[in-house]
């Protein structure tokens, strides 16, 4: 026999949505009042991370269309694709730059160039930098291919290596940072951090032919300066030793506090280099060492040399 009784109705739980919405609105209003934000109706005030993810995807395709572009793309339509995509992505970027600069203008009004004109200049200058960015990235790809015996081709390096992907993001983010779109640059760097596990502040200055092998856990601070043909491995930190404060105990911002790494340096896995110290040209820093003073050019520093208490300002061999 079949059960003739109708199924019992399942009552939806009462979540009191309207009450939660009202309370969230009150919290937002309090935050805006505390930080002197407008409570008048209006559009978005800050750049969108989701929009920037799309912009970065399109820029990667513009820079490397046949490898990071759409799968159906053919070489005979490559230039058309690049031009069409670039036009769209620059307009999208302009919208995000305007949001950042209008936000800054509200907080710190200026009598100089309008944020509209400044936004256009930033995006125009950024667009003009793309050929040079592509050349720099080519040098990074070649460095990765030459520096890793497991790499079978430059195409494998570009498609698969997180260190190379992190440098695509960083080269773009650094250019935005230099041009004055610092919040957008920071968002781009955090998108890269989430995707690659590599944390590079967009302010870091990095020369050509830079290779991050493996990459997970690498941290490179804002005022770091890295020369040409430098190679680092996973879990390397180029960080700040201290955070100087002013008379009111507030952390001072913008001062040089991260390492300078000269040309042709190799830093192996787990090494930590802190403060405004200089790693001299051609030095090799072994794994899991802790460096807080200058290292002379050509030195080979390891845990053994540090235990011996050698003077790192003189070339040493381990």
If asked whether residues 151 and 225 sit together in one domain, one would say no
If asked whether residues 197 and 228 sit together in one domain, one would say no
> How would residue 244 be classed by pLDDT, with cut points 50, 70 and 90?
confident
Residue 314, pLDDT score: 74
Distance separating alpha carbons of residues 184 and 46, to the nearest angstrom: 10
Q: What is the average pLDDT across 221-226?
A: 98
> How would residue 274 be classed by pLDDT, with cut points 50, 70 and 90?
very high
Q: Is the pLDDT of residue 225 over 90?
A: yes
User: How many separate domains does the chain show?
Assistant: 2
If asked whether residues 221 and 185 sit together in one domain, one would say no
Tell me whether residue 228 is in a domain. Answer: yes
Q: What percent of the chain has pLDDT over 70?
A: 92
pTM: 0.88
If asked whether residues 111 and 228 sit together in one domain, one would say no
> How would residue 254 be classed by pLDDT, with cut points 50, 70 and 90?
confident
Write down the mean pLDDT value for the chain. Answer: 91
If asked whether residues 114 and 242 sit together in one domain, one would say no
- Range of 305's domain? 217-318
Tell me whether residue 165 is in a domain. Answer: yes
If asked whether residues 78 and 197 sit together in one domain, one would say yes
Q: Is the pLDDT of residue 251 over 60?
A: yes
Buried b (16+ CB within 10 A) or exposed e, 228-264: bbbbbbbbbbbbbeeeeeeeeeeeeeeeebbbbbbbb
If asked whether residues 154 and 182 sit together in one domain, one would say yes
Residue 181 phi, psi dihedral angles, 5° rounding: -90, 65
Structure tokens at 253: 């911002």
Residue 103 or residue 132, greater confidence: 132
Q: Is the pLDDT of residue 33 over 90?
A: no
Residue 309, pLDDT score: 73
If asked whether residues 180 and 243 sit together in one domain, one would say no
Residue 22, pLDDT score: 94
List, for residues 145-177, the tens digit of each pLDDT value: 999 999 999 999 999 999 999 999 999 999 999
Q: Is the pLDDT of residue 9 over 90?
A: no
Residue 11, pLDDT score: 55
74: number of Cβ within 10 Å = 8
Residue 8, pLDDT score: 56
What angle is formed at CA 243 by the lines to CA 185 and CA 181, rounded to 5 degrees?
15
Q: What is the CATH number of the domain that holds 85?
A: 1.10.3130.10
Residue 13, pLDDT score: 59
List, for residues 69-119, the tens digit of each pLDDT value: 999 999 999 999 999 999 999 999 999 999 999 988 877 777 677 889 999
Tell me whether residue 99 is in a domain. Answer: yes
């Amino acid at each position: 026999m079949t059960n003739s009784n109708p199924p019992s109705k399942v009552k939806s739980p009462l979540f009191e949505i309207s009450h939660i919405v009202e309370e969230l609105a009150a919290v937002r209003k309090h935050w805006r009042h505390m930080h002197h934000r407008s409570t008048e109706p209006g559009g978005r005030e800050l750049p969108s991370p989701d929009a920037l993810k799309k912009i970065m995807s399109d820029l990667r395709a513009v820079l490397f269309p046949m490898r990071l572009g759409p799968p159906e793309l053919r070489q005979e339509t490559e230039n058309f694709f690049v031009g069409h995509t670039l036009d769209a992505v620059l307009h999208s970027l302009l919208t995000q730059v305007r949001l950042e600069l209008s936000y800054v203008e509200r907080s710190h009004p200026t009598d100089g160039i309008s944020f509209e004109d400044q936004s256009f200049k930033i995006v125009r200058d950024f667009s003009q930098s793309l050929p040079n960015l592509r050349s720099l990235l080519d040098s990074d790809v070649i460095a990765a291919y030459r520096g890793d015996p497991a790499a079978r081709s430059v195409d494998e390096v570009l498609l698969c290596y997180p260190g190379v992907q992190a440098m695509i993001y960083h080269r773009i983010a650094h250019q935005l940072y230099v041009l004055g779109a610092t919040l957008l640059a920071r968002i781009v760097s955090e998108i890269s951090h989430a995707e690659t596990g590599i944390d590079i502040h967009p302010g870091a200055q990095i020369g050509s032919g830079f290779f991050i092998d493996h990459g997970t856990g690498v941290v490179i601070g804002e005022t770091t300066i890295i020369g040409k043909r430098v190679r680092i491995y996973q879990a390397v930190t180029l960080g700040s030793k201290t955070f100087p404060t002013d008379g009111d105990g507030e952390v001072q911002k913008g001062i040089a506090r991260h390492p300078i790494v000269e040309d042709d340096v190799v830093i192996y896995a787990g090494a930590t280099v802190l403060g405004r110290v200089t790693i001299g040209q051609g030095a090799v820093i072994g794994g899991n060492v802790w460096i807080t003073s200058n290292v002379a050019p050509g030195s080979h520093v390891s845990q053994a040399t540090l235990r011996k208490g050698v003077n790192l300002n003189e070339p040493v061999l381990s």
